[in-house]
Structures are given as C-alpha cells and as structure tokens.
Amino acid sequence: MNRILRGTALNNFGKTSQWFAFGILKFREKFGQILIVAAGIVFLFLLTLVKSKTSPDFRIEPTLFIYTIFVSSFALSRLVGAIFYEASFSRVASRENIDAVLKGIYQPFVTFVIPCKNEEKDIANTVRKCFEADYPREKTEIIVINDGSTDKTIDVLRGLEASIPSMKIIDWKINRGKRHAMAEGFRQAKGEIVVQLDSDSFIDPGSFYHLLVPFAEPEIGAVCAHADPQNSEKNILTKMQAAYYFMSFRILKAAESTFLSVFCCSGCSSAYRKDLVLPILDRWTNEKFLGLPATWGDDRSLTSWILKSGSKTIYTDEVQAYTIVPEKVKQLMKQQLRWKKSWIVNAIITSRFIFKKQPFVALFYFLPLIIISLVTPFMALRALIYLPVFQSEMPYFYILGVLLVTSLFALYCLILEKRKTYWPYLFLWSLLNFFVLAPLLIYAAIRIQDRGWGTR
Amino acid sequence: MLNFRLRKIKILFLSVVGLVVFLMVIGIFVLKNNYYFRQNYLLMQIYNLQGNLALSSEKISNEGQTMTRISRESAVSVPILLYHGVIDDSEWKPDEVNVKMTDFRDQMFAVKKAGFQTVTLDDLSAFMRGEKKLPKKSFLLTFDDARKDSYYPVDPILNVLDYNAVMFVIAGRSLEADEGTENFHLTKKELEKMMATGRWEIGSHTKYGHDLQKISAEGAKGHFLSDRIWLDSENRLENAEEYKARVSKDLEESRNDLEKELDIEVSGFAYPFGDYGHNSKNFPESRKILADIARKNFAFSFRQAGESEFIGNFPGRDFTLLKRADINSAVSPSQLVSLLSGTMGKSIPYYDNFFKNQGWKKAWGDLLLKDGRLVTLSSPSENGSLVFLDGTFQWQDYEFKAKVSVLRGRHFAIVARYQDGNKYVSCDFLEDEAILVQKLNGQESEIRKSDTNESLANGREVDIGISVSGDEAACLIEGKAVLTGKIDQELNHGGIGFKTWDEKENNSYLAVKDVRVENIEK
C-alpha cells in the first residue's frame, strides 16, 4: 500500500509542478503549439497541392481519383481518431476509477503470466520488474512457464524463487508452443486479471496500476499498455523501430482505442479479464486457419476473441512497457512477415463478427483498412515499377505524398513524445514501409501456409 | 452504457474527418486549375532566378542595346529565328525539332552579347513595307505550336535579356484544351498570362491544320493544308473547291478564334511543318491557292528557309511570305551569332581572305575554312557543292574575282547574282570550255559558250571572275573577259558563290582564296 501511496504523491506532484511551470513555460509551450499547428496546416496544404497535381482527373478516371482521396483521408482519419483518444480514454479511466484503484475500492487480484523459452539473459529482469510493480503485493502472483528451454533459463528461475515468493514456475521439458504456455498460465491463474508479458519485456513498476484502472468498467475486456523498445539506442534500425512503435501505439492504437476497440492488444504487455478468456481458451489454443494450426498472432487472435465476446478493448498511454526489438534486418523481416501473416489471418476471422458487434468501427475503420491494405501494395507497384518502366513517369510525387503524410504523423509524435528523440526516424521507417514492408503483404499472403515461427 | 457516452466523440470524429476530406477535395479542384500552383509556373520562378544569376555572371547589361542605338546603321534585312520546344531535362537527347534549355539560354545570351535585339511583328511589318528603319542588329524570335515548354523556360530568359517573341498558336488545340488536364499545349488562361507579360505576340498556326490527314484510299497521310484529303464517306478525294473551302475555313477560324478569345489582333501565320504547298503530295496547285488564302487572312505568313536561301528578309520583295531559320541544339551559340551577323548587308568593295567566316553558307555539299582558303567540296553522296555568301542578296553591279585551284573533280563555276539555289548566274568551267549559264526557277540555260584551249581543272591556281552589270554578264580568266552575254531581268540583283560538279560522287574539291568584289562604274 505504501508504494501505491507514494505513486499517488508522485502523481500529484506531477500535476502541481505543471502549475508551477505554467507561468514560465506557458508562452514557450503555446508558441510551440501554434508553430506545430501551423506546420500541420502547411503540410495539409502541401499534401492537397501534391494530390491536385498527381491525382487523375475526376471526370476521366473517377475510381483512381476516389482511391487517392480515400487513402489520404484514411491516414488523416487515424490522426483525427488519435486526437480524440484522450477524450474517450478519460471516460473509461475516470477520476473515480483511478481513485478506486488507488484507494483499494477496486483492487483485483493480478496474475502475471510469462511464457519463456531460452531467455536466460532477460527473464530475471522481467520477473523482478513484475515483482516490483506498484501494487499491493498480496494481490499479485507471477506464473512463469518454461516452455522447454534448452539453456539455463530454469536455473535462473530457481535462483529467483527465494527472493520472489509469489512466483510459480511451470517447467515443461518439451516445447509446446507459446499459445499453449499462455493458456496454461490462464488456467492456473488465481487472479481476476491476467497480465500477459513476453519474456523479454517488462512493465514500468511505477505506472503499473494504471493498467488496472480501465477494468473498473465491467465492459472492458482487455487493456494494452504503451510499449517502447528498450534497445532503441542500439542502431539506426532500432531507432526507426522506436519511432514506429511510438507512432503505432500512440497514433494507430490510440485511434482504435478512441472507439474502445483495439484490434491487437500486443503480446508484449497486455492485461485480460480472465472470465472472458477461460471459456474460449480451448478454441483459441487449437485455432486453425486453412486446416493448419495458427502458430503466430496469438495476441491479435486473443484480442479478437475478446471483441467477439462483445467486450471492449482499450489502450492506455499511462502504462509504460518496454520490449526488445530486432536489431538486424533479417530478424526484423521475419518478424514483419509473421505479423503480416497474422494480420491476414485475423482480418478474415475478425470480418466474420465485427460488423455485428461494432458496426461503427467496422464501417469507418475496419472496412477501409482492409480495402486499402489490399489495394495499396498494387498501387505502390504501379507507381514504383509500372509507371517508371512503361510510361517513364518517375514516382517523385508519389513518394512526396507519402512523406507529407508522414510529416503530419511525425509532427503529432513530436508533440507527444516526451524525449523528442526518435520522431525524425519515422521518415526512414515510412520509406522502408513503403518500399519493402507494404509489398511484403503480398509475399505474406503467398506464404500464408508456411506456419513456421521463423526464429527471432 | 459506454457506447452511449461515445456517441458525441463519434459524431465529432466523423465531422472532423468529413471536413478534412471536403477541404481536400475542394482544394484539389481549386489548386488543379490554379495558375500560380502549376508546376510550370513554379518552375518558371526557378528559371527566372537561374536566368538572373547567369546574367550577372555573364556581365551582360543592356549595353548591347545602347550600342545598337548608337550605331546609326540600319538593317538591310531582318532574320527570323524559329524554335519549338525548349527542353529542361538533362537526360534528353537533342533532336532536330527542339532545343535544350541550357543551349537555348547560351544561344540567346551570345546573341545578346553580340548586340542583337529582337523586334516586334509590328516593327517588322513596317520594315517590310519600307515604312520604318530598324537597327542593324535586329531579329525576330518565333516559336511554333504554343507548347508549354516554349513558354515557361523561355519567358524568364526573354525577361532578363529584354527580348520579346512571337508564339504561333494552334488555335484548336490551345483554346479548346482543358485547363486542368492539358499538359502539352498552352491553354487559354496561360496564353492570357503570357500576353500580360508584354513580351509576347500571338500568331496563328492554324486551327486544326497541324494534323496529318488521310489523302488516299490506301490510307497514305498528307498535310492538312497542302493536300486534298480523302473523303471516306464518298470514297473519293475532295475537289479543289472543297479543298479551298476547308482550308479557308480553318485559317479564318483560327484567326477569328484567337482574336475573339484573347482580345488581340492576329497578323501573322506560320505554315505547319513549314509546308506552304511546296511539299504537297497530291495537289501542287495548293501552293498558289494557299498563298492567296493566307494573304487574305494575314498580313504575313512564315515558312522555314531552305538551305540554299538567304536567311534575311528583305523589304519590298514579296514581303507577305517570310523566311525563318530553324534553330535547334546542333547550332552552337557562336554559329548562331555568325548566322545572324552574316545576314547583315555587306557592301562593295568586298574582300575576303577567309580568316574567319563572314557569312559563307552551303546550299549543298560541304564547306570549310582552311589556311586562309575557302574549300568547297562534295559530301559523300553528292556529285557537287554550292556555296554562297550571306548578306549579298542586294548586290547589283559588280565584278567578282577569286583565285581558285581545283584539287579534285573537273567542273567548277563562279556564281553571281545569287538569289537562291534556283536563281543565279554562273560561269561554268569544264574540260576546255567556259559557259555562261543562267538558272531561273530551277531551269539552267546556256547563254554563251567559249573554248579555253585547256582545262582549268588541273590543280594549279587560276584567277577567274564574273562580272555583272545591268543585264550584261561576262566570264573572266586572268582578268580578261572570255565571253559575255545577256541575262534575264529577274536576275537583276543577287550575291556571290561557287559551285562544283563531277560525274562521280564525292569527287570534287575546290580551294578558293583572295576573293575580291569591286563596283563597276556604269
């Protein structure tokens, strides 16, 4: 209880310091904000200008014209959605709900479930950070599933047992897969809320309790924390990913969260209401797609099941989690390929129920997203290969358009990112995404039946 | 419950996104047709900057202009330059029609540095009617087809050099073009902006006449203006009346449309493809009919000058059909300057020792300047060559002598009263005879023949000459008249030149030195 009180004090201090600084920072901040808004308007204008120069004539090629408008509008709608995120989030994480957690009115029992395999290096830190979480210790337990590790993971875990009494180790000699490990965790969990963590990620102990606040609303089924890479400083690739993580959580997930339907509560740090998961556990574990077991995409799939049950999912930027991102191009490509495949599989599964459960989100987000994801790789190929080769029309304006949309996203990240270090890398990521990752979707669709994990 | 509370956010979200989409669509439509946000306009601003930078580095001020003002001499003839597209693309390979932007700039800068100034159509018109004198170094700059790339890269250069130009517009294409999607020709709006600069005049380049038309049942293609077209529906060629009506209508409408739409007066007309009927495939009569129709609708028509013609336009003589020199990237800036300088009237007495080219041009064959000699020789697939001196068109009575040596080939001639490749007088030396020949409208005729005892084509240097005075002409060897005769009235003026010929291809080579032209006292 002490910790949580200290947390409250810190939180209050944060609020008061804001007031102190207001006088001094007010001008600078306001000026900065005006500059950013002005820059945003300029970028929007430039984007419109570029579109006006590159879009085909409406009367001649109406479909192409509509597509052009459609794509830019969709990207901008994500930004608009993200802007409304706080307004929406504050209704769920209301003052009363925060107080309820802080004052013990709503303090559910929490089980951390950490499946791991060959993680002797990182596992100790992950477990320790769970133990240190700013939450009444008697209301937490940690379940670590050693899924057939061949290194010293089990020794490390045994070593921790003494200092962390609330840890329970499930030691499987033979590897059974992440889904099964997670499911076992859910089955054995005592907690009302299950926090699912990747073995190489952890949640900042100080902000942990915020993860539970949304659960005070009975309709909320899952909460996704904000994750950033721990190893972002490593090289340019990790810096790009840092920018991408921030953008994808703070803009894309936030925009989904505005309408209380985050489509993927990421595996690295999300919490689920156990009651909702238990009934679907078997179906989830044995999920098949085109006759083969769905290996990857456990997190996306689990979130889908939650949404299908009619509950809501939400993203919280109050909880800071950290994970490790690939440091080499090859690893990154494998990860991206896995994600793309899982996206395809889950898009099909989701499309079966989303129109009934969440018509608004289905119509204004899910459907456009599917259309754009299907068409964009082909439009990119047209602009990057077909037009330059057959019509000798270089894709300068196309790339300029992409960079302008990125500028708007980067500006928004600049406002929100506290360290303000990684936002410029978003441009690099955006180009990588445009030239490599977007076309990868086609490859992913072709190789969808290859269910290998493709080691990290 | 939560859903209910989200309603407000949903409505707000949709309205904001809707507003953004609305603004973007409206913005796209507005910006698409906005003159100031066109790529071309923005590019032009860059050209302007480049032009000014180049100007400051070239140290050209308006000195050239003042120089020409100081010199009291006035122009005898005015050359006209013709350009099409000016292409700003480093990847582009020069062709015969267009010019590279940097080449065009270098050409214009060189011309400006040499002291040349552009004139307007009005000036030229007054000059041609003999009502106005123009500075000695004057020329008219023209562009055909009204392409975007003959305006956007060009105007900034005109601006910095204080030049002006004439744009020949294909009325049907420009005036009927869609402002938003047209990306090749200038549109009506752009033409208006162009006129507003005060640097441009507009002429007609037909309405729809810049197309190839079907001229036979088999589908052969011919020029709209100079051929009778095939009427598919009636399975026949149109007759002369129909031809006349069609062409009249096109030219008249092109003028009316331009005048009405742009609120200007149109006095000039340029023949598409430079074909004023002389290239007709199935209707040679078109040349005359076309000239009548053009004269009826326009004060001036413009065509391209042939290789064998003087480039300058002289007042008084059939001034309704003007000649233009077609310029592309193959013409170097210094060549262009000498081309323009060459057209300036030369005076008698005239001496040339060929240290630099004073305006010698080839009608065919090849010419080169070497060791103080003018060499005229046949090019590989030709039997001979013909060269003439620009700026001598107006010469009348003179004695023209030169020292020549024939190094290859057996026939050569000294030429006087040269007007073009089909109109001149010459003394031909072949085998052991000298012949006085006149060429009129392409027909050569012998006037007088005489034996010379021995062939002059023996490699040794020989002093030959030709003298013309009124309708009398004489051939000279070593200063002595060897034969004389009377020539046609039409050949009452013209310049000097040389000619070679041999039965075998690529087998003639004549070296000339010491050209002297003296007045003949009557």
**Residues B179, B324: one domain?**
yes
CA distances from B201 to A266, A316, B163 (A): 68, 68, 12
**Per-residue pLDDT tens over the stretch B119-160:** 999 899 888 888 888 898 999 999 999 999 899 989 988 988
Site from B1, B28, B182 to mutate, A interface, most A CB atoms within 10 angstroms: B28
B381 touches chain A (CB under 8 A): no
Q: Does residue B366 share a domain with residue B257?
A: no
Mean pLDDT, residues B492-515? 87
Residue of A nearest to B28 (CA): A52
d(CA B341, CA B390): 9
CB contact under 8 A, A52 and B12: no
Query: Is B19 an interface residue toward A (CB < 8 Å)?
Result: no
Q: Chain A contacts of B7, Cβ < 8 Å?
A: none
Does B228 lie in the same domain as B178?
Answer: yes
Three-state DSSP at B21 gives helix
Query: Could you say which of B16, B24, B180 has the minimum Cβ distance to residue A57?
Result: B180
pLDDT in tens, B198-211: 999 999 999 998 88
Output the CA–CA distances (angstroms, integers) from residue B130 to B142, B309, B315, in the order listed. Answer: 22, 21, 6
Residue B485's domain comprises 346-519
**Residues B178 and B272 placed together within one structural domain of the fold:** yes
B325 vs A149, higher pLDDT: B325
> Would you state the pLDDT for residue B79?
93
Chain B residues touching residue A312 (CB < 8 angstroms)? 2
Q: Do B221 and B276 belong together in one domain?
A: yes
Which of A392-406, B47-61, B243-257 is the least confident region? B47-61
Domain of B55, CATH number, reads 3.20.20.370
Per residue, the 3-state secondary structure of chain A, as one string, reads CHHHHHHHHHHHHHHHHHHHHHHHHHHHHHHHHHHHHHHHHHHHHHHHHHHHHHCCCCCCCHHHHHHHHHHHHHHHHHHHHHHCHHHHHHHHCCHHHHHHHHCCCCCCCEEEEEEECCCCCCHHHHHHHHHCCCCCHHHEEEEEEEECCCCCHHHHHHHHHCCCCCEEEEEECCCCCHHHHHHHHHHHCCCCEEEEECCCCEECHHHHHHHCHHHHCCCEEEEEEEEEECCCCCCHHHHHHHHHHHHHHHHHHHHHHHCCCCCCCCCCEEEEEHHHHHHHHHHHHCCEECCEECCCCHHHHHHHHHHHCCCEEEEEEEEEEEECCCCCHHHHHHHHHHHHHHHHHHHHHHHCCHHHHCHHHHHHHHHHHHHHHHHHHHHHHHHHHHHHHHCCCCCHHHHHHHHHHHHHHHHHHHHHCCCCCCCCHHHHHHHHHHHHHHHHHHHHHHCCCCCCCCCC
State whether residue A72 sits within 8 Å of chain B by CB: yes
Q: Which residue has the tokens 């430039």?
A: A46
Write out chain B residues lying below 8 Å of A258, CB-based: 9, 13
Q: Is there a single domain that holds both residue B330 and residue B415?
A: no
Does B396 lie in the same domain as B248? no
- Chain B, 170 to 199: residues with Cβ < 8 Å from chain A are 178, 180-181
Whether residues B254 and B215 fall in one domain: yes
Three-state DSSP state, B367: strand
- CATH number of the domain encompassing residue B435: 2.60.120.560
* pLDDT at residue B52 is higher than 80: no
Burial class (CB in 10 A: 0-12, 13-18, 19+), B66: exposed
Least confident piece of the model among A52-66, A120-134, B255-269: A52-66
Pick from B89, B84, B81, B137: which is nearest to B345 by CA?
B137
Residue of A nearest to B181 (CA): A57
Residue ranges of the domains in chain A?
1-50
Q: Using CA atoms, how far apart are residues A58 and B25, in angstroms rounded to an integer? A: 10
Query: What is the number of structural domains in chain B?
Result: 2
Same-domain check for residues B318 and B453: no
Q: Summarize pLDDT for B215-227 with one digit per residue, the tens.
A: 888 888 889 988 9
Q: Is residue B12 in some structural domain? A: no
B13 near A CB under 8 A: yes
Predicted local confidence at residue B64, as pLDDT = 45
A73:B24 CB<8 A: yes
Q: Is the pLDDT of residue B245 over 50?
A: yes
Cα distance between residue A206 and residue A132, in whole Å: 8
Write out the E strands in B331-397.
Answer: 350-352, 360-364, 366-370, 373-377, 384-389
Q: Which residue is it, tokens 């007495």? A: B349
Minimum Cα–Cα distance from A87: chain B residue: B9
Are A47 and B6 inside 8 Å of each other by CB?
no
What is the least distance, in Å, from the CA of A412 to any CA of chain B? 16
> How many angstroms away from the CA of A32 is the closest CA of chain B?
23
A chain contacts of residue B1, beta-carbon cutoff 8 Å: 219
Sign of CA dihedral B133, B136, B137, B141: positive
Contact B28 A55 (CB under 8 A): yes
The least confident of A387-396, B300-309, B338-347, B497-506 is A387-396
- Per the domain annotation, does B14 fall within a domain? no
Q: How far apart are CA A363 and CA A354, in angstroms?
A: 9
Mean pLDDT of chain B: 86
Last residue of a domain, one of B292, B321, B339: B339
Predicted confidence at residue B502, as pLDDT, reads 83
- Answer yes or no: do A72 and B25 touch at CB < 8 A: no
**Average pLDDT, stretch A86-100?**
86
For an interface test with B, give the residue of A51, A80, A314, A365 to mutate (most B CBs within 10 A).
A80
Residue count of chain A, please give it.
Answer: 456
The last residue of a domain, from among B339, B367, B388: B339
> What per-residue confidence (pLDDT) applies to B442?
80
**Residue B294 and residue B418 in one domain:** no
Given A48, A258, A312, which is nearest B9 (Cβ)?
A: A258
Residue of A nearest to B32 (CA): A52
Per-residue pLDDT averaged across A117-130, rounded?
84
- Could you tell me which chain A residue has the CA closest to the CA of B29? A52
Whether A265 and A223 have beta carbons less than 8 Å apart is answered as: yes
Contact B6 A260 (CB under 8 A): yes
Q: Which residues of B touch A314 (CB under 8 A)?
A: none
Q: What is the pLDDT of residues B2-48, one digit of tens each?
A: 554 678 888 888 998 899 889 888 888 887 767 777 777 777 788 77
Statement: residue A3 has pLDDT above 60? no
**What is each CA distance from B232 to B213, B235, B281, B378, in whole angstroms?**
11, 5, 18, 46
| Whether residue B359 sits in one domain with residue B235 | no
Pairing of β B230-231 and β B236-237: antiparallel
| B2 within domain boundaries | no
Chain B environment of A51 (Cβ under 8 Å): 24, 28
d(CA B13, CA B459): 96
Do B317 and B352 belong together in one domain?
Answer: no
In a domain, B10, yes or no: no
